[in-house]
Structure 1
Amino acid sequence: MVLWPSLPCPSMHHCVFPLTSPVDNPACVCVCVCVCVCQVTHAPKLEQQGQLFGQFDEKAFLSSKQLKAGEDPYREHAFNLQESDRLGSNRTIRDTRHYRCASMTFDPDLPPTSIIITFHNEARSTLLRTIKSVLMRSPPHLIQEIILVDDFSSDRLIRSRVRGASAASASILTFLDSHCEVNTDWLQPMILRVKEDHTRVVSPIIDVISLDNFAYLAASADLRGGFDWSLHFKWEQIPIEQKMARNDPTQPIRTPVIAGGIFVMDKGWFNHLGQYDTHMDIWGGENFELSFRVWMCGGSLEILPCSRVGHVFRKRHPYDFPEGNALTYIKNSRRAAEVWMDEYKQYYYAARPSAQGKAFGSIADRLALRRKLNCNSFRWYLENVYPELKIPEQEAAYSLLKQGGLCLESHGTDSLGLAECKTTPSIPASQVWRLMKNRNTPHRILFYLQFLSITTPSYLDFCSRCRVCHKALCVQTPMRPAALHSSCLDASSWSTYFLFVVRYQCVLGKTVLCLSATKSCFTVTSAAPGT
């Protein structure tokens, strides 16, 4: 193994699968203590791969991390490590592509790619199987290098991918998770699509590798990536219109979002678009941020049916999140929503109220990037990319909320209270409210100031602080509530929605408010604590 001069690889972070052969003059170059680049100057021929594999002591590599008698095989990695170790590194898997894919031909002058695999305390058998599947099922001339990012540091997955991409020397980047197995001819279709249009970001169909017995299971070829307003990723059926327009099962599938861990992208385009948001932590939400950015800033996302990669989907995360996985995901997804979703972020907060008030860091640099790239609006994204994501409102009403001559009014954007109703010469915008019921959270009535197109709503929600707990609801608002006295707010047009609200009281600061609803009015009254 030849090391880069003056940059010796620490033994604990050596290249786990060095391709060493004097014939092919490879070099294992440690770029830094957590990035190891295995470079092959001249790719080995198929007959030489066996010689290279023969030089690698797989048994010794695996034995140092094997299970001890009585250990739980799921504990450390959230999959059956005993079964993974038993399989070996070069098992045969079924070709799960449509039969027409086998007859596809590819441009002989496809450019090579840098394959970037980021891992964190990965099981050695799954990591090795990932690497060997790449080497055994990829045309050797298309692999410029395999970059293994051993994420033992505080960089974590998102920032480590950026470091791996920076170390890459090829013009096309291929990102893989460390518990995958690539299938027959997986690489050529993706490189071809990116070569034809450098703004395309392409992903394979992701087959399922069982976390229990490691059976390789074919995924449907009629799925694409989607999400709901809480930014929860989901696989969904291709819309019927798109399905009917596809007369060839090998054709690419347009997808609103990608899963995030396995995709191919032009390196120049990756850098032009701002790589990843490196203020996101560890894992989660980065696929939305990247997907929104690609679509809204001039690119496209595709899933290629003739490219298949198996992936071990786990039911829990086998690694620690310093702030907890829920808080980390909220921080990351909130950053994506704040930068890219414009006024539609209100639906994200309505669907994920726990995100309110959670710190997410500065987004000034990402907003500046969006302006620099002259990206489209999120409305454009909904209309042109994901029209199937419906606005989560059944009805909306615009009205005053009043009692006698007093109306609920916003005092700027940070407080609210009661003020004299003003109807001449016109109703002030600070007293016009948009009332909306949310499909995702049907128990909640949302209150929006109409004159603010981008705002966080006040809403009725279940409140654990309420003194009366029978179906208790609480007014949640980012504004500071002023003391409200004996106020009947006229909302007769919304009486059917208010019928479900029962009398309750809730402490807001030092003010205890009692709220109730009838068919004719929505009432806010003062109450003494403890009553």
Structure 2
Amino acid sequence: MRRIRANAIAILTVAWILGTFYYLWQDNKPQSSPSSSASQTRGRSHGQKVVPGRLEIHRDDRTIPLIQQGQLLGGFDEKAYLVGKQLKPGDDPYREHAFNLQESDRLGSERAIRDTRHYRCASLNYDTDLPATSIIITFHNEARSTLLRTIKSVLMRSPPSLIQEIILIDDFSSDPEDCQLLSQIPKVRCLRNGRREGLIRSRVRGANTASASILTFLDSHCEVNTDWLQPMIQRVKEDHTRVVSPIIDVISLDNFAYLAASADLRGGFDWSLHFKWEQIPIEQKMARSDPTQSIRTPVIAGGIFVMDKSWFNHLGQYDTHMDIWGGENFELSFRVWMCGGSLEILPCSRVGHVFRKRHPYDFPEGNALTYIKNTRRAAEVWMDEYKQYYYSARPSAQGKAFGSIADRLTLRRKLNCKPFRWYMENVYPELSGLSVCVPPACFSSKAPTSLAASNLWHLSK
């Protein structure tokens, strides 16, 4: 009897363990497709990383276009458009665009990419009456294959009812036909600047001409992923003061492999106003019971986001006295939080972006001086006494011209915005490890420990 009882207990124990493992496996199993095995093989061949033990199990299904190419381009002659600007034999593929143009041209204007969302995202439902959006893409001398792939990914992977228009702002590119020819594609409009204006003023021009109630700002070297648009429009529809951004996946500048970014990151910065990605604080991570929930972020990267047009206008659009590119994401992020809004990153929205190691174009006043001017304007208008930490971390900014900020200070008073101390205490307390003092009492600063790690994704244009 003892032996029988012992055997029975052993069998029950093994059955319980196997049942527990089966339950956990079912709970975390990604949705499968008939081609899942082949897809996984293709994913590995493109260098995708598999992180053991992660809750986020990325599906390896391939994106399925909502619109086929025949319906997509109308009378646009894609072949003629691409052949006109392809790389010539012997040319350096990195010289003009700071990424491998030869590989971009080889890929053509479209391809299937991995669905990098958490598998639970596929089961979410969105309102059937979501408002349409105007998509605003600014560019200056962008590679034709990359720009066209951006546009076609939007048209092929977005519900047609949600795309009011795609507004291209050609920021005085060398060849006007880079933009003009694309206006033959249905829903695509082309506006060309008469001189170089930069991303900031170009986006304002696009927003002013947009006919939809929702604005979607998108860089010109992207590929949107499955169901990228619905989650962002849904969140803005529910609360028009939200500004939402996708998780930004990485497109390799060398071989254009599409790489899934971590879903555990948010936007942060150091006192020099240098953007970086950082881990979500542990308390925020523990409070997120569902991996599809939105992530509060102190700042957004700025290249890709969705915003209600009336809210964008109410908050003062962009600071148009900033030049070209750089720092505008801090100014907008501070303004949104301090003046009654919020910033979110949505895990169920994914957009790939080509991140380059250098700027492929010149800044009229130089890259460094332009960035200092722009970030100094943001610090002077929004950071109050905390701006001294900016000057301590970036002493070269002292004495540099940054223009008049009277109109932006008037805007801040008109909007009755909160002080930067409120932002530090309620939005970004992880940066508050420094005691504030007004000069000349102290002028030293050390990097907050939450930003000290350098092994996080650092993504710059």
The TM-score by the shorter chain falls in which range? Answer: 0.7 to 0.9
Work out which of the residue numbers 105, 111, 135 in structure 2 matches 1:91: 111
Alignment deviations for residues 300-338 of structure 1 (CA, whole Å, 9 cap, x no partner): 000000000000000000011011100000000000000
Matches within 5 A, 1:130-529: 130-152=150-172, 153-392=195-434, 434-435=441-442, 437-440=444-447
Deviation at 1:434, TM superposition (A): 2.6
Q: Secondary structure at the match of 2:117?
A: coil
Task: Identify if the C-alpha distance between structure 1 residues 248 and 143 changes in structure 2 by more than 3 Å, giving closer, same or farther.
Answer: same
RMSD: 1.8
Alignment-derived partner of residue 498 in structure 1 = none
Question: How far is the alpha carbon of 1:88 from its aligned partner?
Answer: 1.0
Distance 1:48 1:248, change over 3 A: closer
- Look up the match of 1:125: 145
Which AA in structure 1 matches 2:92? D
From 61, 83, 86, the equivalent of 1:66 is: 86
Evaluate the alpha carbon distance shift between residue 211 and residue 434 of structure 1 in structure 2; reply closer, same or farther with a 3 A threshold.
Answer: same
Shift of 1:64: 1.1
Q: Deviations over 1:96-136 (max 9, x none)?
A: 00000000011001000000000110000000000000000
Please tell me whether residue 56 in structure 1 is matched to residue 76 in structure 2: yes
* TM-score scaled by length of structure 2: 0.76
For 1:307 and 1:272, the matched residues in 2 are separated by 26
In structure 1, distance between residues paired with 2:388 and 2:104:
44
Deviation digits for residues 255-304 of structure 1 (CA, Å, limit 9, x no counterpart): 00000010000000000000000000000000000000000000000000
User: What CA distance in whole angstroms lies between the structure 1 residues aligned with 2:303 and 2:66?
Assistant: 28
Task: Look up the SS of the partner of 2:134 in the other structure.
Answer: strand
Matched residue, 2:101: 81
Alignment check: 8 A CA contact 2:388 2:443 kept: no
Q: Secondary structure at the match of 1:60?
A: helix
Give, in angstroms, the shift of residue 47 of structure 1.
Answer: 6.3
Secondary structure at the counterpart of residue 431 of structure 2: coil
Amino acid in the other structure paired with 2:421 = R
What amino acid does structure 2 have at the position aligned with 1:218?
A
**Residues 46/341 of structure 1: CA separation in 2 closer, same or farther (3 Å cut):** closer
CA distance 1:345–1:55, shift in 2 (3 Å): same
What amino acid maps onto 1:63 in structure 2? V
Normalising by structure 1, report the TM-score.
0.66
Instruction: Give the equivalent residue in structure 2 for 1:508.
Output: none
Q: Is the 8 A contact 2:376 2:402 kept in 1?
A: yes
Task: Work out the CA distance in 2 between the residues paired with 1:275 and 1:53.
Answer: 32
Q: What secondary structure does 1:56 align onto? A: coil
User: Percent sequence identity over matched residues?
Assistant: 86
CA distance in 1, matches of 2:67, 2:159: 13
Contact 2:137 2:218 in 1 (8 A): yes
Counterpart CA distance in 1 for 2:124 and 2:309 is 26
Query: CA-to-partner distance for each residue in 1:53-84, whole Å, 9 max, x for gaps?
Result: 36322111011111111110000000000000
Question: Which amino acid in structure 2 is aligned with residue 188 of structure 1?
Answer: Q
1:154 positional shift: 2.1
Structure 1 CA distance, aligned partners of 2:74 and 2:335? Answer: 44
Higher RCO (CA 8 Å, separation ≥ 6 residues): 2
Residues 389 and 443 of structure 2 are in contact (CA less than 8 Å); yes or no, is this contact kept in structure 1? no
Size of the aligned set, in residue pairs, is 362
> Do the aligned partners of residues 54 and 169 (structure 1) sit closer, same or farther apart at CA in structure 2, a change above 3 Å counting?
closer
Report the Cα distance in structure 1 between the residues aligned to 2:141 and 2:442, rounded to whole angstroms: 49
**Residue identity in the other structure for 2:354:** V
3-state SS, counterpart of residue 269 of structure 1: helix
Distance 2:239 2:371 in 1: 32
Structure 2 match to 1:449 = none
Pick the structure with more helix per residue: 2
Greater fraction strand: 1
- Secondary structure of 2:441's aligned partner: strand
What amino acid is aligned across from residue 276 of structure 1 in structure 2? Y
- Partner SS, residue 306 of structure 1: strand
Contact 2:67 2:155 in 1 (8 A): no
CA positional deviation for 1:156: 1.4
Q: 2:326 is aligned with what amino acid? A: G
Aligned to 1:314, what secondary structure does the other structure show? coil
Q: For residues 414 and 306 of structure 2, what CA distance do their matches in structure 1 show?
A: 24
d(CA) in 1 for partners of 2:225, 2:411? 37
Q: Per the alignment, in what secondary structure is the counterpart of residue 434 of structure 1?
A: coil
What is the DSSP-based 3-state SS (H/G/I as helix, E as strand, rest coil) of the residue aligned with 1:55? Answer: coil
Matched residue type, 1:164: G
- The amino acid across from 1:334 in the alignment is R
Letter in 2 for 1:109: D
Q: Which amino acid aligns with 1:92?
A: A
Task: Please identify, of 244-253 and 145-154, the stretch whose mean Cα deviation from structure 2 is larger.
Answer: 145-154
AA matched with 1:375 = C
> Are residues 51 and 285 of structure 1, via their aligned partners in 2, closer, same or farther at CA, if it must alter by over 3 Å?
same
Q: Structure 1 352/121 Cα, relative in aligned 2: closer, same or farther at 3 Å?
A: same
Q: 1:292 to 1:313 in 2, by over 3 A?
A: same
For the residue of structure 2 that corresponds to 1:305, the secondary structure is: strand
- 222 and 375 in structure 1: CA distance in 2 versus 1, 3 angstrom threshold: same
Q: Which residue of 2 aligns with 1:473?
A: none
- Partner of residue 135, structure 2: 115
Where in structure 2 are there 5+ consecutive unaligned residues? 1-64, 173-194, 449-461
- Mapped partners of 1:62, 1:118: distance in 2: 19
Match of 2:455 in 1: none
